[in-house]
Amino acid sequence: MSSNSGTLWVTATPIGNPGDLSPRAALVLSGVWRILAEDTRRSGLLLARCGVRSPGFLSLHEHNESRRVPAVLEMLRSGRDLALLADAGTPLLSDPGYRLVRACREEGIRVSPLPGPSAICAALSASGVAPLPFAFLGFPPRGRSEREQFFAPYAGLKLTLVFFERKDRLAACLRDAGKALGRREACLAREMTKAHEEFIRFSLDEAYLLPEDMKGEMTVLIGPPEIVERAAERENPDALIREALSAGFGARETARIVRAGIPALTRKEIYRRVQELKASCADEQQHFRK
């Protein structure tokens, strides 16, 4: 490693709440020569909210990274420190920067991470979906057939899948994932660390029931294939149904209660079983009266 070169600081930034920027990251960002950012305007606003005085920006995104690398390497060779930012979260994870980091390593230029927020880790830690082992898939392709082919290799693997998706493609993406992967536990994490943070758990075959007007950044988690089956085996839906009915809840309310306790079961399956048990209880009561 060259002792005369500058350092490329790979810096994680908040995914929502400005308070998540580490004091060390703020110190480094205010002291580097320039900041390499995917969207310089967005990063400038973020640093302003975090109270960091920016030394200036250079754009580095998927369309100019290859052209930008030689000039950036020359800056580092001359002893200038630079910071690399994504729009939010940890750089390189579904964001540009890999070519630059690899080129720095090949030349012996120091690259050092400033760890911090990551939508991937945040979603895994708070979703309730099995966190290990997992595979991060980035953004799925746009086309239907490409998406099905994209998910197909994971159908037989016992992995939790994590990926990002835009709100206008979410419904189609989940539909295609369901075709390729089958019925699985899933969770949609949106607006993490923000005021309207939400984690929506569902079964992949029920994705069509998700609200259509959701906004914000979307992180999707799909659990491994055995999770749904194990959940169904571990819980006793009939016991929950009988308990809710005996407490005076109606069929619809009972179905909602059981669905919350056993997300592996579909609302249709639960509602059907509620009707069956209600009929069975009515027959038992009539027989007892006789």
Are 221 and 252 found together in one domain? no
β-partners of residue 8 are 82, 111
Q: What is the mean pLDDT of each run of 10 residues along the chain (290 residues)?
A: 83 95 96 95 93 93 94 97 95 93 96 97 95 95 93 92 94 93 93 93 86 85 72 63 74 73 73 82 48
Both tokens of 6, joined, read 């500058």
Are 105 and 5 in contact, with CB atoms under 8 Å apart? no
CATH number of the domain enclosing 65:
3.40.1010.10
pTM: 0.75
Q: Domain for residue 142, yes or no?
A: yes
Both tokens of 216, joined, read 């914000």
Q: In whole angstroms, what is the distance from residue 54 CA to residue 269 CA?
A: 56
Are 156 and 183 in contact, with CB atoms under 8 Å apart? no
Q: Which of 203, 226, 249 is the last residue of a domain?
A: 226
Torsion of CA 198, 201, 205, 207, to 10 degrees: -10
Residue 289 has a pLDDT of 42
Residue 273 has a pLDDT of 84
Cα distances from 118 to residues 39, 87, 99, 121, 179, in angstroms, run 18, 11, 20, 5, 29
Are 69 and 109 found together in one domain? yes
| SS3 per-residue string spanning 204-267 | HHHHHHCCCCCCCCEEEEECCCHHHHHHHHHCCHHHHHHHHHHCCCCHHHHHHHHHHHCCCCCH
Total H helices, total E strands in the chain? 11, 10
Are 131 and 213 found together in one domain? yes
Q: In whole angstroms, what is the distance from residue 27 CA to residue 102 CA?
A: 25
Are 222 and 248 found together in one domain? no
Q: Domain for residue 75, yes or no?
A: yes
Q: Domain for residue 261, yes or no?
A: yes
Residue 212 has a pLDDT of 79
Are 202 and 270 found together in one domain? no
Are 156 and 171 found together in one domain? yes
Q: Which of 175, 206, 226 is the last residue of a domain?
A: 226
Element (H, E) at 189: strand 185-190
Residue 287 has a pLDDT of 43
Question: Number of folded domains in the chain?
Answer: 3
Q: In whole angstroms, what is the distance from residue 240 CA to residue 258 CA?
A: 6
Are 124 and 178 found together in one domain? yes
Are 112 and 22 found together in one domain? yes
Show the domain range for 37.
7-117
Kindly report the backbone phi and psi dihedral angles of residue 83, in degrees, each rounded to the nearest multiple of 5, phi listed first: -120, 140
Are 264 and 204 in contact, with CB atoms under 8 Å apart? no
Residue 230 has a pLDDT of 47
Are 186 and 166 found together in one domain? yes
Are 151 and 101 found together in one domain? no
- DSSP per-residue string spanning 80-122: --EEEE-SSBSTTSSSS-HHHHHHHHHHT-EEEEE----HHHH
Q: In whole angstroms, what is the distance from residue 34 CA to residue 173 CA?
A: 38
CATH number of the domain enclosing 167:
3.30.950.10
Q: Domain for residue 63, yes or no?
A: yes
Cα distances from 71 to residues 14, 64, 103, 110, in angstroms, run 28, 12, 12, 16
**CB neighbours of 84 closer than 8 A, spacing ≥ 6?**
8, 9, 10, 11, 35, 36, 60, 91, 97, 100, 101
Q: Domain for residue 1, yes or no?
A: no
pLDDT tens-digit profile of 69-100? 999 999 999 999 999 999 999 999 989 999 99
Are 213 and 254 found together in one domain? no
Q: Domain for residue 2, yes or no?
A: no
Q: Name the residue with tokens 């019925």.
A: 183
Q: Domain for residue 99, yes or no?
A: yes
Q: Domain for residue 183, yes or no?
A: yes
Both tokens of 44, joined, read 């400038």
**CB neighbours of 173 closer than 8 A, spacing ≥ 6?**
140, 147, 165, 220
